[in-house]
Amino acid sequence: MNFRKLGRTHLKVSEIGFGGWAIGGGWGPQSDADSAAALNRALDLGVNFIDTAAGYGDGRSERIIAGVLKGRRESVVVATKTPPTPGPWPPSPYCVACERYPERYLRENIEQRLRNLGTDRIDILQLHTWTRAWNRNPEPFAVLRKLKEEGKVRFVGVSTPEHDQNSAIGLMRDGWVDVVQVIYNIFEQEPAAELLPAAAETDVGIIVRVVFDEGSLTGKWTGDTSFPEGDFRRSYFEGDRLGRAVARAARVGEAIRGSGYTLPQAAIRFALAHPAVGTVIPGMRNPSQAEANCAASDLPAMAEDLQRRLRAHNWLRGFWYAGK
């Protein structure tokens, strides 16, 4: 496992981090035993960065992580997230920052994160979503600054809203965030235009999520794949979306032929090829996924000509431009 500096935090984090959504729930049946085994395997293979959130099974993911980390808490960086108060997700342009992330609520929510994680200081606290409407007066980050001074959290950041990831750039440039969590993968390359260069300029740490496009970029699905009850992908890939994603992933598979990478490995190596990236956090549900994903760190860096070829697979999924 190789390690990188996570921007201005100066934390040395494993290139492969552990994505903790599926172990919380929302991805169909998932036993806590499999989840703990996946995380233990990842830690044994050198992972020292874990991402989770209040919303992943209403604290279930955080509690599993706390259980596994008993006795080795100090050697691992855990990033969690606080969601806004109930309301539109992503927040609408008319939402008011101090109503969706009021100070009292933030404080109470963070106490709950501390209890679930069994710790007295959160390594990285991310706001789970955002709107650019709040960039001019990002009051919630002023509250988080106080919580940093009080020693409740060490570093703060934001997870980008999917439809407007660039909304985090203002927060970077104005010095509010230590890290930003962003979708960056072979299908979603827009962050290379401005967000990733801005992170490099401002020394903000980048955490890459959804490197497999929720699974389509593993290449293991067909047009007939179905998802079990309780798996959010039943709706995420409904209608013609599954078939289109599978067809696109097959074309990526052709493009990497002869590279020596499997498709999941190529997906991870593509994200790691950007110098602004600190860690890539694939979701892992069992020990064999942990092994496959951790092994990607030790593979050769992706050659520039393959990176260039994969640029053609950027997929603009906006309603009008998406194509077939």
Ligand X SMILES: NC(=O)c1ccc[n+]([C@@H]2O[C@H](COP(=O)([O-])OP(=O)(O)OC[C@H]3O[C@@H](n4cnc5c(N)ncnc54)[C@H](OP(=O)(O)O)[C@@H]3O)[C@@H](O)[C@H]2O)c1
**Positions in the binding site for ligand X (CB under 6 A):** 19-22, 27, 51, 128, 159, 181, 209-215, 218, 220, 264, 281-285, 289, 292-293
Q: Which is nearer to ligand X, 21 or 261 (CB)?
A: 21
The structure tokens listed for 102 are 């009021």
Least distance to ligand X from the beta carbon of 267, Å? 8
User: Do residues 179 and 171 make contact, with C-beta atoms less than 8 angstroms apart?
Assistant: no
Strands 49-51 and 77-82: parallel
User: Environment class of residue 72 by beta-carbon count within 10 Å: exposed (0-12), middle (13-18) or buried (19+)?
Assistant: exposed
Least distance to ligand X from the beta carbon of 271, Å? 10
Least distance to ligand X from the beta carbon of 58, Å? 15
Q: Which is nearer to ligand X, 65 or 97 (CB)?
A: 65
The structure tokens listed for 127 are 């706001």
DSSP structure string for 202-260: HT-EEEEE-TTGGGGGG----TT----TTBTHHHHTTTTHHHHHHHHHHHHHHHTTTSS
Q: Which is nearer to ligand X, 146 or 260 (CB)?
A: 260
Closest listed residue to residue 230, CA positions, set 8, 27, 22: 27
**DSSP 8-state class, residue 106:** H
Least distance to ligand X from the beta carbon of 268, Å? 9
Q: Which is nearer to ligand X, 61 or 202 (CB)?
A: 61
Q: Which is nearer to ligand X, 97 or 168 (CB)?
A: 168
Q: Which is nearer to ligand X, 9 or 160 (CB)?
A: 160
User: Environment class of residue 293 by beta-carbon count within 10 Å: exposed (0-12), middle (13-18) or buried (19+)?
Assistant: buried
User: Do residues 147 and 106 make contact, with C-beta atoms less than 8 angstroms apart?
Assistant: yes
Least distance to ligand X from the beta carbon of 149, Å? 25
CA angle, 85 then 88 then 90, to 5°: 95
Question: Which residue of this chain has its Cβ atom nearest to ligand X in the complex?
Answer: 283
Least distance to ligand X from the beta carbon of 216, Å? 8
User: Do residues 123 and 207 make contact, with C-beta atoms less than 8 angstroms apart?
Assistant: no
H/E stretch holding 4: strand 3-5
Q: Which is nearer to ligand X, 33 or 201 (CB)?
A: 33
Least distance to ligand X from the beta carbon of 310, Å? 16
- Provide the 3-class DSSP secondary structure of residue 26: coil
CA angle, 279 then 289 then 249, to 5°: 80
Q: Which is nearer to ligand X, 16 or 114 (CB)?
A: 16
Least distance to ligand X from the beta carbon of 106, Å? 17
